[in-house]
Amino acid sequence: MSNQTVPLGQYIFRRIKELGIEHILGVPGDFNLTLLDEIYNVPGLKWIGCCNELNGAYAADGYTRIKGSPAVLITTYAVGELSAMNGVAGAYAEHAGMIHIVGMPARSMQRNRVMLHHTIEPNMDHAIYIKMADPIRKDHAYLMEDCTMADEIDRVIVACVRSRLPVYIYVPTDVVSVQLDANRLETPLDTTVRNADSKTEDEIVSKVLSLIAEASNPTILADVLAIRHGGLELTKKLAEITHLPSFSTPLSKGVIDETAPYYYGLYNGKASFPGVAEAVEKSDLVINLGPLLSDSNTGGFTRDIKDENLVRLGHDLVQLKGQRFDGYHFLPILKRVVEELEAHPQKYKLPRPQHAGRVEAPVLNDSKSGELKQSYVWQRLGRFLKENDIVLAESGTAQFGMPDATFPRNTRYITQIFWSSIGYTVGSCLGALIAAKEMKHPGRVVLIVGEGSLQMTVQEIGTYLRYGFNPIIFVINNNGYAIERAIHGPEQGYNDVSMLWDHQKMLEFFGAREDTGIKAESRATKTVEELEAALNDEAFGSGDRIQLCEIFMDKFDYPWRLSKQLEIARARMKEAASKNNITAG
Ligand SMILES: Cc1ncc(C[n+]2csc(CCOP(=O)(O)OP(=O)(O)O)c2C)c(N)n1
Ligand SMILES: *[C@@H]1O[C@H](CO)[C@@H](O)[C@H](O)[C@H]1NC(C)=O
Ligand SMILES: *[C@@H]1O[C@H](CO)[C@@H](O)[C@H](O)[C@H]1NC(C)=O
Ligand SMILES: [Mg+2]
């Protein structure tokens, strides 16, 4: 072995390249640009500059959701890393982890507590911002000691890939050039997910298989953490081999092929289409992959699946009816289960076509004319989609409306209904565009965002144009924060936003002009006829240039699912209040 060394900066980026990552997101800062120089020393890595760090974090999250491997976000000390925190927290909540690299003052400056810019008072401990991010990361490396740096970097990268949660690497400016042993890079990092005890794993696999064999009416409920933890293809395969009635959730929509006869709908407790909840809840074996049991992903906690009918295959818990296996990861288990079912279908009476109980999604509104309504728009947008499209639906009415749509095969869906930070999809869309490019993904990228949310993160549209991306953007223009009106204060001024923005000029401002040669098209639609004209226009759907289509709707028009969930939440609050009164009395 040679005594070759590489500078730390390059070491980090070579490890990152090893994961198949080709683009690095971020915003530079003087702490420190020399680290960024190392990106250009690793062939195949490119820099994508974002307008701000919050959008950068959203983009990292979106990239991870599509690509599966972590994204990399680079920010600068204090001002940059703190701006990113909301986005990193969302990635933590919804398991769309990233490697967040933060440039810091040189170690000598830190030790002397120098009152540099971006500190907040004299004699400040420079590490205070590191503590702030503690609850929103799986692990971190604070690179202060030369002799442990390489180990630390490797450890947190592995932790990120395995946990699918954000990790941080804090890089003081003077360590970028520290020389590390280059020989380490000859051994790739081992990021495989394994269960510690293979005997117990054997036991789980055979028990799952016998439960499937014995159940009279088994179903599959595929939730979002199965996708996030690398189980998307296996989940699709499980449904395909078995033909068991299969369901998605608001967060996992698209995971099951919605055109397949075994797709039974989107399960969201009592806020599901008629017949869907019954079909799940009467099943004697619900194989529930990667559940995320937040309010809006369970119809306001109205999911009703009894433990005695439940096989829960999670990333940190496997539960077979009443029996719990804490710390077990579904991925190796699901892999073995699918292999066995595929090898011996007869043994498990597969495929098992079941016709009873399937209900077609109702057509909510088949109007041919008139002003655009929530009841019409979402299912129509569903029909606009094509196989392999990537669709992002922003928090707000879009997120509660989109579950009404039926997706073509292999639609990838991004929505953040758990963390629900508005403006998220505008940043996330950039990450999805980058991931799609790296993967040579054949579909289009379609962003659906309310005008209120757009006002939060609009500048990142400029980054789409800057790097030559051509998404199709729908702006839901309904005169303010409609979802908030539905919740409280429909007429109150705080639910208004500026209506002075001219969305039709947006793409032009961001760069689509004659002088740049960048082509774009923008249109506004207020009626069924106008929207139909746009959606049926081949040029509009072709994805050959960036497109914007504004969809105007009434400010008091809400999707039924939103009203339903609010009704459920209000009833629960009322019940809780009356119980409190009884206790108090
Ligand atoms: C960062 C952040 N700020 C505030 C909120 C509260 N909030 C949730 S939805 C929403 C309004 C969204 O309005 P718009 O994008 O216009 O969608 P609409 O419901 O009108 O279709 C607001 C303010 C939030 N979720 N996240
Ligand atoms: C950035 O790094 C370079 C070289 O390592 C150094 O000369 C410069 O002072 C650093 N900048 C700051 C603000 O620490
Ligand atoms: C159905 O959609 C049309 C056109 O969008 C609208 O005019 C009509 O009011 C809608 N009907 C209902 C019940 O929402
Ligand atoms: Mg709005």
3-state DSSP assignment of residue 364:
coil
Q: Is the CB of 397 under 6 A from ligand 1?
A: yes
3-state DSSP assignment of residue 552:
strand
Q: What is the pLDDT of residues 119-158, one digit of tens each?
A: 999 999 999 999 999 999 999 999 999 999 999 999 999 9
Q: What is the pLDDT of residues 419-460, one digit of tens each?
A: 999 999 999 999 999 999 999 999 999 999 999 999 999 999
Shortest-distance atom of ligand 3 to CA 369: 4
Mean of the pLDDT values across residues 278-306? 97
Contact 461, 473 (CB under 8 A): yes
Report how far Cα 101 is from the mean position of its chain's Cα atoms: 20
DSSP at 404: G
What per-residue confidence (pLDDT) applies to 2?
64
- Token code pair at residue 502: 């001219």
Helix-then-strand count for the chain, H and E: 22, 21
CB atoms closer than 10 angstroms to residue 357: 16
What per-residue confidence (pLDDT) applies to 405?
98
The Cα 236–Cα 579 span in angstroms is 44
The burial class, CB within 10 Å (0-12 / 13-18 / 19+), for 342 is: middle
DSSP result, 43-54: TT-EEEE-SSHH
Distance 332 CA to ligand 1 centre (A): 39
- Please report, rounded to a whole number, the percentage of residues in the chain having pLDDT higher than 90: 95
Q: Is the CB of 478 under 6 A from ligand 1?
A: yes
Confidence label for 580 from pLDDT (cuts 50, 70 and 90): confident
Query: Looking at 102-111, 182-191, 209-218, 570-579, which range is the least confident one?
Result: 570-579
Q: Which CATH superfamily is domain 5-186 in?
A: Thiamin diphosphate (ThDP)-binding fold, Pyr/PP domains (3.40.50.970)
Q: What is the rounded radius of gyration, in angstroms, for the C-alpha atoms of the chain?
A: 25
Secondary structure string (H, E, C) spanning 131-144: HHCHHHCCEEEECC
CATH fold group of domain 198-348: Rossmann fold (3.40.50)
Q: Is the CB of 119 under 6 A from ligand 1?
A: no
Alpha-carbon dihedral sign for residues 535, 537, 543, 545: negative
The Cα 503–Cα 521 span in angstroms is 11
The burial class, CB within 10 Å (0-12 / 13-18 / 19+), for 17 is: middle
Contact 524, 451 (CB under 8 A): no
DSSP result, 451-500: HHHHHHHTTHHHHHHHTT---EEEEEE-SS-HHHHHHS-TT-GGG-----
Mean of the pLDDT values across residues 463-474? 98
3-state DSSP assignment of residue 195:
coil
Mean of the pLDDT values across residues 549-578? 94
Q: Is the pLDDT of residue 355 over 70?
A: no
Confidence label for 356 from pLDDT (cuts 50, 70 and 90): confident
Q: What is the pLDDT of residues 2-46, one digit of tens each?
A: 679 999 999 999 999 999 999 999 999 987 778 999 999 999 999
Mean of the pLDDT values across residues 179-190? 97
- Please report, rounded to a whole number, the percentage of residues in the chain having pLDDT higher than 70: 99
Helices 424-438 and 53-67, packing angle to 10 deg: 50
Q: What is the pLDDT of residues 189-216, one digit of tens each?
A: 999 999 999 999 999 999 999 999 999 9
Please report, in range form, the residues annotated as the binding site for Mg(2+). 478, 480
By residue count, the chain amounts to 585
DSSP at 371: B
Distance 183 CA to ligand 2 centre (A): 27
Calculated CA dihedral for residues 429, 41, 9, 168, nearest 10 degrees: 10
The Cα 228–Cα 316 span in angstroms is 13
Q: Which ligand lies nearest the alpha carbon of 89? A: 1
Asked, colleague to colleague, whether 198-348 and 374-565 share their fold, the answer is yes
CATH code linked to domain 374-565: 3.40.50.970
Q: Which ligand lies nearest the alpha carbon of 421? A: 1
Distance 77 CA to ligand 1 centre (A): 29
User: Which amino acid belongs to residue 248?
Assistant: S
Q: Is the pLDDT of residue 354 over 90?
A: no
Q: What is the pTM of this model?
A: 0.96
Q: What is the pLDDT of residues 57-105, one digit of tens each?
A: 999 999 999 999 999 999 999 999 999 999 999 999 999 999 999 999 9
Confidence label for 585 from pLDDT (cuts 50, 70 and 90): very low
Give the binding-site residues of ligand 2, using a 6 Å CB cut-off. Answer: 30-32, 34, 105-106, 173-174, 176-177
Mean of the pLDDT values across residues 105-111? 97
Give the binding-site residues of ligand 3, using a 6 Å CB cut-off. Answer: 365, 367, 370-373, 375-376, 528
Confidence label for 564 from pLDDT (cuts 50, 70 and 90): very high
State yes or no: cis peptide before 365, omega within 30 of 0.
Answer: no
Domain ranges of the chain: 5-186, 198-348, 374-565
Distance 116 CA to ligand 2 centre (A): 13
Strand partners, 4: none
